[in-house]
């Protein structure tokens, strides 16, 4: 007889094994995004820890972020990095190569056996985006595999469907997301002018849906419930940790270009709702679009839907903001009221 889900979690079962053994993916289980928490105090208080690093140097910021909120134990593991390569536009239009390089270096230092970059771009062709960004060259230099999700065959995809979804018939996701041991998600901090409102941790998941025979992107962008559907994608994969590069941010426009602001902030944590809420608070402090400025953070539809279906925290009182120096702590004081 199989152990209960709770017993499997206590025994340290791999997250993707846990998802598979529990009937693929489950909605409404509030502890699922928190399996890799590193803050004992936050865990005891049932809070999601979000690390806030103020540093204009991306390499330093990544190292400080993972010192503050450590990576999971990746020793001997296959690790997939899910970046933001929607287009090849300069950060925050896409994940900065310096940020990506720093994450790769940190994973190798932590003893990862294999590191993979996996992504799907759009509307530009994924292969062309990766070439323009120099990803294949970077990967060769760093000994990293690259997987273009648009080039996966039918046997390399899984159809994801749940009764709770507002999608017409679910969607396909890469099987590799279940097969790797760990996932590190690397997003940007920006607004989204084409219906998403903002794009950080939750919307990063849109790139796990390949452009297959079904036109999922038209279905997404043509829906009145677009922002709900964005949130629902995160039911289909659970990164162990997210790093949001806000060294530069778009306070309007986006996702590829917009009003660029030097924010010099990096966020890290394992709860995408907590991270996005913190990112929205930063946009509010910087001054952003009408919908960002005039909507209470947890009433924004991406966050409200994600909280409703158990992807992460449901309110600001469940978020613990931490930093590693006085500058970061002062910054936390500036943004916390916007949560």
Q: pLDDT tens digits, residue range 21-76?
A: 333 333 332 222 322 223 334 433 578 999 999 999 999 999 999 999 999 999 99
Mean pLDDT of 123-139: 97
Give per-residue pLDDT as tens, 270-297: 999 999 999 999 999 999 999 999 999 9
Q: What is the pLDDT of residue 45?
A: 57
> Measured between alpha carbons, how far is 58 from 201 in angstroms, rounded to an integer?
18
Mean pLDDT of 72-100: 98
Q: Do 177 and 183 touch, CB atoms closer than 8 A?
A: yes
Parallel/antiparallel/unpaired status of strands 114-119 and 78-82: parallel
Give how far the C-alpha of residue 223 lies from the chain's centroid of Cα atoms, to the nearest Å: 22
Ranges of each domain in the chain: 5-338
> Measured between alpha carbons, how far is 105 from 100 in angstroms, rounded to an integer?
9
> Measured between alpha carbons, how far is 299 from 74 in angstroms, rounded to an integer?
36
Give per-residue pLDDT as tens, 217-275: 999 988 999 999 999 999 999 999 999 999 999 999 999 999 999 999 999 999 999 99
Q: What is the pLDDT of residue 270?
A: 98
For tokens 């001054």, name the residue.
287
**By C-alpha distance, which of 192, 235, 188, 194 is closest to 91?**
188
Mean pLDDT of 135-144: 98
Cβ neighbourhood burial of 43 (10 Å; 0-12, 13-18, 19+)? middle
**By C-alpha distance, which of 48, 318, 304, 82 is closest to 187?**
82
Question: 5-338 falls under which CATH superfamily?
Answer: LarA, N-terminal domain (3.40.50.11440)
Give how far the C-alpha of residue 92 lies from the chain's centroid of Cα atoms, to the nearest Å: 14
Which of 43-57, 164-178, 194-208 has the lowest average pLDDT? 43-57
């Amino acid at each position: 007889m199989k152990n209960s889900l709770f017993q499997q979690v206590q025994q340290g079962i791999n997250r993707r094994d846990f998802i598979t053994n529990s009937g693929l993916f489950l909605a409404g289980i509030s502890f699922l995004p928190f399996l890799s928490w590193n803050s004992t105090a936050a865990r005891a208080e049932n809070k999601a820890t979000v690390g806030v690093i103020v540093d204009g140097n991306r390499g330093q910021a990544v190292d400080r972020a993972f010192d503050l909120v450590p990576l999971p134990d990746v020793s001997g593991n296959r690790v997939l990095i899910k970046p933001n390569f929607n287009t090849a536009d300069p950060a925050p239009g896409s994940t900065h190569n310096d940020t990506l390089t720093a994450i790769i270096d940190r994973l190798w230092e932590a003893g990862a056996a294999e590191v993979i970059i996996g992504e799907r771009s759009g509307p530009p062709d994924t292969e062309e985006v990766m070439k323009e960004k120099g990803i294949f060259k970077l990967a060769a230099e760093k000994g990293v595999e690259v997987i273009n999700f648009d080039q996966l065959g039918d046997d390399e995809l899984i159809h994801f469907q749940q009764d709770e979804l507002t999608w017409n018939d679910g969607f396909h996701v890469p099987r590799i997301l279940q097969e790797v041991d760990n996932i590190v998600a690397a997003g940007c901090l920006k607004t989204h002018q084409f219906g998403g409102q903002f794009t950080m941790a939750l919307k990063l998941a849109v790139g796990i849906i390949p452009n297959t025979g079904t036109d999922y992107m038209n279905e997404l962008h043509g829906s009145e419930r677009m922002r709900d559907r964005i949130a629902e994608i995160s039911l289909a994969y659970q990164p162990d940790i997210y790093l949001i590069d806000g060294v530069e941010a778009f306070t309007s426009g986006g996702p590829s270009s917009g009003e660029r602001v030097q924010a010099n902030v990096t966020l890290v944590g394992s709860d995408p709702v907590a991270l996005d809420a913190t990112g929205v608070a930063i946009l509010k402090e910087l001054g952003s679009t009408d919908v960002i400025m005039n909507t209470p953070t947890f009433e924004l539809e991406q966050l409200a839907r994600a909280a409703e279906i158990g992807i992460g925290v449901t309110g600001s009182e469940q978020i613990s903001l931490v930093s590693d120096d006085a500058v970061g702590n002062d910054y936390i004081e500036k943004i916390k009221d916007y949560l």
